[in-house]
Amino acid sequence: MSRAVIVTGASHGIGRAAAVLFARKGYSTVINYHRSESEALSLAHSLTQEGCSVLAVQADVSDPVQVKELFQRTEAAFGGLEILVNNAGISQTGLFTDCTPRQWDRVFGVNVKGAFLCSQQAASLFLREHRGKIVNVSSIWGITGASCEAVYSASKAALIGLTKSLAKELGPSGIQVNCVAPGVVDTKMNAGLTPEELQALRDETPLGVIGTSEDIAQAIWFLASPESDFITGQVLSPNGGFLI
């Protein structure tokens, strides 16, 4: 099996940190992006200059045609796939009563349907080899729920359910499926939080810090590495003790 990995939503944040980590550890890395072309191409160029094997591929993960093309390009470039990281995600904040069906569909389209479509494509490749690893990136809010983030929380909870179901279904075929559920992390998604809100979150966290994208990338790496070969269907939540 080719030592190749696809990281969806890899142009910034957690996805970017994960792509960098995999590439520097010797994996042929597909940097998937939707709209952030300049960031993705810049990252690919930088990693190539370091001697890494990378490919930036544009695809909206909620579109089955584009997802199929993403996997076809990966196979053509690297001869196969070993790991899929379903990281692409969007958020929606606001009162539940103000949420529109269109907003609901968009969040679920990327966060859940995207993981479903990519996992289907990956599974078809993994089944041939009787091995492979899928790591889904959920959220602590998928475990606890968050006020004024009902749609986002529901989508991330669905991702946890998908993880557990696929682990049971694909396990007999040698395929592992696990999930990372980050706590509060310093990414664009949380850029709207005020300094006061961030400090309040630090105060609620036993370790007293906000996580970094690199912290979460290390958790993703662990679940994708040989060190996790006896682990499947699990939710690893790096959150500084925010949820115990």
Angle at CA of residue 79, ends 3 and 4, nearest 5°: 25
How distant, in Å, are the alpha carbons of 78, 123, 169, 228 from that of 128?
16, 9, 15, 21
Q: For residue 98, which amino acid is it?
A: D
Minimal CA–CA distance to 22: which of 53, 46, 45?
53
Give the tokens for residue 123.
Answer: 């599974």
Neighbouring C-beta atoms of residue 181, cutoff 10 Å: 26
The separation between the first and the last C-alpha atoms of the chain, rounded to the nearest angstrom, is: 38
The one catalytic residue in 71, 152, 221, 242 is: 152
At 208, list the tokens: 């007293």
User: Is 152 among the residues known to form the active site?
Assistant: yes
* 151 contacts 104 by C-beta, under 8 angstroms: yes
- Residue 173: CB atoms within 10 Å: 14
Contact (Cβ atoms closer than 8 angstroms) between residue 221 and residue 214 = no
Measure the CA–CA gap between 221 and 14, rounded to whole angstroms.
Answer: 12
Q: Do 115 and 107 touch, CB atoms closer than 8 A?
A: no
Alpha carbon 170 to its chain centroid, in Å, reads 19
Q: Which residues contact 229 (CB under 8 A, 6 or more apart)?
A: 176
Q: Which residues are catalytic?
A: 152
